[in-house]
Amino acid sequence: MRSIKEMVAEGRDCPDLLIQIAAVWAALDQVGRIILEDHMESCIIRAVKGGSGHEAIVDLKDALAKFIR
């Protein structure tokens, strides 16, 4: 994000800014996928084994609704 602000301050062309924004979105999307996979492989499994699987699924659905918008 800092580099995008710097690019704007430098007066860089709009296509350059859009490409950089797309790169940031892609990186955030990848991080989100990694976190989601980790959550499902650890937290959800642990919650199901501990008897609170339903609550964990409800929380996950809420988080996904906000994440996917």
Q: For the chain, which residues make up each domain, given as ranges?
A: 2-68
Using CB atoms within 10 A of its CB, is residue 7 exposed (0-12), middle (13-18) or buried (19+)? Answer: middle
Helix (H) or strand (E) holding 51, with range, is: none
Q: Which of 31, 29, 10, 7 is closest to 20 using CA atoms?
A: 7
| Mean pLDDT computed over 62-66 | 91
- 42 pLDDT band, cuts 50/70/90, is very high
Q: Flag whether pLDDT at 18 surpasses 90.
A: yes
Question: Could you tell me which CATH class the domain 2-68 is placed in?
Answer: mainly alpha
Q: Which of 54, 49, 30 is closest to 38 using CA atoms?
A: 30
For residue 47, the model assigns a pLDDT of 95
For residue 35, the model assigns a pLDDT of 94
- 67 pLDDT band, cuts 50/70/90, is confident
